Amino acid sequence: MTTPANSGQVLVERDGGVARVTFERVDAHNAFTWAMYEQLDAILAEISADPDIRVVTLRGAGGKAFVAGSDISQFKEFKGGVDGIAYEAKMDRYFERILAVPVPTVAIIDGWAVGGGLNIAACCDIRVASSLAKFGSPIARTIGNCVSMKTYARVLGGFGEARAKRMLLLAEFIDAEEALAAGFLARLAEPETIDQVADEVVARLLENAPITLHVSKAALGRIMAPDCDPADDLISLAYGSEDFRRGVDAFVSKTRPEWSGR
């Protein structure tokens, strides 16, 4: 698979017992390229093996977006449903890397968390957002694809059935106040205080017993892990459709897709 010229980067800075991960592709609202997913995977593998790290934060650069999904231009290479099945399986592996980090992960969301960005945030343990944050997965309106069953399960668990259907069927965005009310967010802050609030959350985690945090996180993960049919037939149906190809072309050309239902 080719990568856009401005492929972005994922950076990590160690600050005592805290690993601060930043998604940096500001001109594209931090939309992830394949290379960025690979970088994040490698960084989290390294962090997970470091016994001195006690908290991991994840944040988008620029102050306007956490992550605005995956770079849609990359989907132009897809030929059919088999590519979609392989892609969603790969995404599951990337998301499972986030879930498997043995210490608490904190998503700091000051802006849009869309598509893949919503899914990355949903894999984190604690989510702190500014009042300007927006959450959504508008694939029914944009490119006509789908996500994996495990990803659907996390969106459902994070927002509840009614809100999940609004996001996935109506392609609506959920604002920060509603995300807090749904329980998806742990803290809500004004844009000018989000750093302070995030630092307070990190400080609280650093005060707590590391082994208890590790065991409790792992225990909750085992209890809540979705055991669901991978539904390759549904994924193939979406990614193998004419509508998906139309949606990708329309998105890249900044036009409105005309759905055929085929």
C-alpha span between 229 and 220 (Å, rounded):
21
Q: Does the structure show a pLDDT above 90 at 4?
A: no
Which amino acid makes up residue 48?
A: S
Which band of pLDDT confidence, cut at 50, 70 and 90, is reported for residue 1? very low
Closest alpha carbon to 122 in 66, 48, 71: 66
Which 3-state string (H, E, C) describes the chain? CCCCCCCCEEEEEEECCEEEEEEECHHHCCCECHHHHHHHHHHHHHHHCCCCCCEEEEEECCCCEEEECECHHHHHHCCCHHHHHHHHHHHHHHHHHHHHCCCCEEEEECCEEECHHHHHHHHCCEEEEECCCEEECCCCCCCCCCCCHHHHHHHHHHHCHHHHHHHHCCCCCEEHHHHHHHCCCCEEECHHHHHHHHHHHHHHHHHCCHHHHHHHHHHHHHHHCCCCCCCHHHHHHHHCCHHHHHHHHHHHCCCCCCCCCC
Mean pLDDT in the chain?
95
CATH number at 20 reads 3.90.226.10
Q: What is the pLDDT of residues 182-194, one digit of tens each?
A: 999 999 999 999 9
Which amino acid makes up residue 15?
A: D
Position 247 scores a pLDDT of 94
Position 228 scores a pLDDT of 84
> Residue 203 domain-assigned?
no
* Contact residues for 59 (Cβ-Cβ < 8 A; gap 6+): 20, 21, 22, 23, 66, 107, 108, 109, 110
Position 7 scores a pLDDT of 81
C-alpha span between 157 and 247 (Å, rounded):
28
> Residue 196 domain-assigned?
no
C-alpha span between 117 and 23 (Å, rounded):
10
* Contact residues for 49 (Cβ-Cβ < 8 A; gap 6+): none
Position 241 scores a pLDDT of 96
Hey, what are 207's tokens?
Answer: 């005060």
> Residue 221 domain-assigned?
no
| pTM metric for this prediction | 0.94
Q: What is the pLDDT of residues 56-89, one digit of tens each?
A: 999 999 999 999 998 898 899 999 999 999 999 9
Closest alpha carbon to 124 in 173, 61, 59: 59
Number of domains the chain is built from: 1
Position 5 scores a pLDDT of 52
The answer to whether 68 touches 173, Cβ cutoff 8 Å, is no
> Residue 54 domain-assigned?
yes
Q: Which residue is associated with the tokens 């979406």?
A: 238
Q: What is the pLDDT of residues 85-139, one digit of tens each?
A: 999 999 999 999 999 999 999 999 999 999 999 999 999 999 999 999 999 999 9
What domain range is 93 assigned to? 9-191
Hey, what are 119's tokens?
Answer: 């899914």
> Residue 86 domain-assigned?
yes
